[in-house]
Copies of this chain bind each other. A is one copy, B any other.
Amino acid sequence: MIPKRLVECVPNYSEGRREDVIEKIADCFRGRENIWLLDVSPDKDHNRMVVTAIGEPEAMFNAVFDSVKVAAELINMEEHKGEHPRIGATDVIPFVPLRGITIEECVELARKLGKKIADELKIPVYLYEEAALRPERRRLEVIRKGEYEGLKEEIKRPERHPDYGPPQLHPTAGATVVGARKPLIAFNVNLGTNDIEIAKKIAKFVRASSGGLSFVKAIGVELKEKGIVQVSMNLTDYTKNSIYRVFELIKMEAERWGVPVVESEIVGLLPAEALFDSISYYLKLHSFDPLKQVIEMRLLELEGEK
């Protein structure tokens, strides 16, 4: 049975090379009631792994806590080397609301987990994004500044004190960042040109930081193998700016240079709602109710009610 309340969690651990450690961390999410492990992605260069799991909030809380404990036992940050910025064995834990749970409840879950990690495992914890207690800590890069090595000293300064736990790193596990954020959609649009300047200009027009659409982050990148360029984006709140609006705005801007949009791609997971919203736009469906009319959505609703 699929639970009525569902949260996604995408924790990152500082191990991407030792198979046995990777498996032991992933095992914390396997064979557990009300937890579905969707993906385990270790990266050798980064020496880091990303777990994607969805599940009932309480079950997820327990699974993640167990994984933090396992990571603290098996990963020694004193010996860790890798390209990706990091401050701890379990580096960062974001909770994402999926169904029947609000972002506020995810914030609560994140803070509760942070407190437990600090109390029981003696690992200092920072809260970020929506769960942040200090406004500057909404941004992960602010918390991770100086990384594990630099934070050893920095953590003693009051402005770098953790939100929970002592102002000193755990001797092997470092520190951990816990937080909550809304579902993020990774959306890329490929342009039929090899002129990177056009991709960069369009990215600038589209992203929130330079006057475009709110809740859109965008950069222009080259796809060298394909010989074309791409506007690569994160849509950080699809309920405020839909995929179709972002896509059509890019088409409109590309038109200025006579550049065609040749393909787009969605990377990773997204909620069905984000797509139904766009299809309603294109087909002019003014009174469409996906939760009642789409068989699969109806099934999930009915299953939740049982």
Q: Which A residues are within 8 Å of any B CB, using their own CB?
A: 1-2, 6, 8, 36, 38, 54, 98, 243-244, 247, 261-266, 268-272, 275-276, 278-279, 282-288, 293-300, 302-303
Contacts and interface: CB of A to CB of B under 8 A. Distances in A.
Contacts of A286: 263, 265
Contacts of A275: 275-276, 279, 294
For chain A, what secondary structure do more than half of its interface residues adopt (helix, strand, loop), or is it mixed? Answer: mixed
Contacts of A276: 275
Contacts of A265: 285-288
B284 A54 contact: no
User: What number of copies of this chain does the assembly contain?
Assistant: 2
Nearest to A272: B296
A303 B298 CA distance: 15
A270 B293 contact: yes
Contacts of A293: 266, 268-270
A285 B262 CA distance: 9
Contact of A299 (B285, B294, B300): B300
B262 A284 contact: yes
Nearest to A289: B266
